[in-house]
């Protein structure tokens, strides 16, 4: 390996939202935060767990409570006509009339 071209490879702490922590080596240099790790992922634990990424599940439940479980149909918005640019054309040049044609 060449000297002074590779980043430092240091031990870094990985922290999961479930509270699990472990140490790995990385060039990142700072702690790594995860939403899911092998200790809490349903594939490894065998238990189903709802994962709420950025409140999307809570937003859905809030909307679902408003409708009391009924299907709500929303009318589509009317399409607005696009304004088309009008091309300005130059008027055709006037023909010169000879004195004979008058």
**Considering the entire predicted model, what is its pTM?**
0.41
Instruction: Determine how β-strand 10-16 pairs with β-strand 21-26.
Output: antiparallel
**Average pLDDT along the chain, 102 residues, taken 10 residues at a time:** 85 90 90 86 71 70 77 76 71 73 58
Contact assessment for residue 9 and residue 28, using Cβ atoms and an 8 Å cutoff: no
Q: Which CATH architecture has domain 7-49?
A: Irregular (4.10)
């Amino acid at each position: 390996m060449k000297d002074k071209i590779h980043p430092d490879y240091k031990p870094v702490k990985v922290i999961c939202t479930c509270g699990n922590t472990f140490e790995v080596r990385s060039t990142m240099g700072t702690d790594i935060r995860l939403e899911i790790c092998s200790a809490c992922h349903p594939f490894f634990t065998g238990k189903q767990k709802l994962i709420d990424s950025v409140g999307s599940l809570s937003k859905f439940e809030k909307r679902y409570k408003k409708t009391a479980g009924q299907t709500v149909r929303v009318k589509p918005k009317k399409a607005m006509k696009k304004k088309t640019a009008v091309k300005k054309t130059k008027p055709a040049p006037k023909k010169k009339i000879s004195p004979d044609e008058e």
